[in-house]
Amino acid sequence: MVHSALEWDDFQEIVHIIDDPRSGAKGVVVVHSTALGPAVGGCRLAPYSSDAALMRDAMRLAREMTYKNALAGLPFGGGKAVLLQPEAPFDRAALFRAVGESLELLEGRYIAVQEVGTDIADMQNIAKRTSYVAGLDRKARRAGGDPSPWTALGVFKAMELAHFHLHGRSLAGARVAVQGVGRVGQILCELLSVAGARLIVADTNHRRAQAIAERFRAQILSADAILSAEADILAPCAVGGVLNCNSIAAIRAPLICGAANSQLAHKEDGEELRARGIAYAPDYVVNAGGMINIAAEHRGASQQMVRRDIDAIAERVIMVFAESDRRSIATNRAADAMAREIIGKPSSWAA
Ligand code: NAI
């Protein structure tokens, strides 16, 4: 096992390299900030074309976790573990045990939770080597449980209030285009269906899209076409980077509110959405429900408190819209500025 740590910059960041040729575990943990508490963030396993691409993603995602946790009022900093998906078949349990060994060396500065490409079983394998992991199956008598239903609930609440804020109407009859009907997207569709919304769905896993379409009488579009669907709300719930210079010009929904992390390919794309008069509810504000649940279980808080804190996500989105209007800046910039104020480091461009 090879480990190395490098710390730098105003956020006391740490980059911790994971490289265990025996199990194939290879990746990086970025601790962006521990100003408000231990860095908590997803541990993802995904293919990358280069080490640089993996590192860029890890740094961006770690920063977003700092902002997400700060704005959600959680006593956590932000960090992320990004692991390279091995090309050859591999022993998954051994890989995540090795990751656990490596995380132990960070002595709690980073706490891993399940994310894209990983599941609760992976987190349980990490837990065999370290206690710095959360969101485990409740049967294991540990903090956590699947965060996805809570993430979906937060997205739904944010959508409901933001749509009302824009049009003065409930979601009944609203057309909602959901890109990605996985763990979060499926539950979101269920909530939207109960609220009387009309669904349009897309998923690269066509059978999954088909199943959802049959269950909720939804229309199916291709993964790309859904971004420009004739809809009242676009909910990206699949992958990052979908709001970019190619897609934004074609978006027809006046509101974007979804679970996917890093929806904007570049920060500047937020300005483009603003220029087009599209209300973008920043991803990390909207998708904080899962983290809120993880934090509550650490505190031993009740589900009632979780629901109350998740309701506050919707109010926060409206505050972000108001701040964006007040300062004539994009909503993602407004959210970043609000988060940085909480962390005590106002951004250089903030007024
Ligand atoms: P998931 O992996 O269960 O579902 C993602 C779905 O999107 C899958 O059905 C997949 O086939 C589909 N998909 C992949 N690429 C696609 C594309 N280009 N177009 C359409 N569909 C595509 O993931 P999960 O847990 O539902 O998360 C969804 C998003 O929300 C991810 O970006 C994740 O980072 C983010 N998120 C999830 C949280 C959670 O609690 N699960 C918490 C915060 C953020």
| CA of 219 relative to ligand 1 center, distance in Å | 19
Question: Quick one: average pLDDT of 195-221?
Answer: 97
Residue among 122, 126, 121, 153 nearest 139 (CA):
121
| CA of 169 relative to ligand 1 center, distance in Å | 28
Quick one: pLDDT at residue 295? 85
Q: 81 near 95, Cβ under 8 Å? A: no
Q: Quote the CA–CA distance of 145 and 269 in Å, as a whole number.
A: 34
Question: Quick one: average pLDDT of 172-195?
Answer: 98
Instruction: Examine the pLDDT at 8 and tell me if it is beyond 60.
Output: no
Instruction: Locate the ligand 1 atom nearest the alpha carbon of residue 151 and give its number.
Output: 40
Decide whether any atom of ligand 1 lies within 6 Å of the 100 Cβ.
Answer: no
| CA of 188 relative to ligand 1 center, distance in Å | 12
Decide whether any atom of ligand 1 lies within 6 Å of the 226 Cβ.
Answer: no
Instruction: Locate the ligand 1 atom nearest the alpha carbon of residue 186 and give its number.
Output: 26
What percent of the chain lies above the pLDDT cut of 90?
81
- The angle at the Cα of 174, spanning 171 to 175, to the nearest 5 degrees, equals 135
Q: What is the pTM of this model?
A: 0.89
Decide whether any atom of ligand 1 lies within 6 Å of the 237 Cβ.
Answer: yes
Instruction: Locate the ligand 1 atom nearest the alpha carbon of residue 181 and give its number.
Output: 9
Structure confidence by residue, pLDDT tens digits, 289-327: 999 998 887 777 778 888 899 999 999 999 999 999 999
Q: 180 near 209, Cβ under 8 Å? A: no
Quick one: pLDDT at residue 135? 79
Decide whether any atom of ligand 1 lies within 6 Å of the 151 Cβ.
Answer: yes
Q: Is 68 one of the annotated active-site residues of the chain?
A: no
| CA of 261 relative to ligand 1 center, distance in Å | 9
Quick one: pLDDT at residue 232? 98
The closest residue, in CA terms, to atom 31 on ligand 1 is 260
Instruction: Locate the ligand 1 atom nearest the alpha carbon of residue 208 and give its number.
Output: 9
Decide whether any atom of ligand 1 lies within 6 Å of the 238 Cβ.
Answer: yes
Q: 219 near 241, Cβ under 8 Å? A: no
- Which listed residue (80, 128, 267, 345) is catalytic? 80
Quick one: pLDDT at residue 4? 41
Structure confidence by residue, pLDDT tens digits, 128-174: 999 999 877 654 444 457 789 999 999 999 999 999 999 999 999 99
The closest residue, in CA terms, to atom 14 on ligand 1 is 238
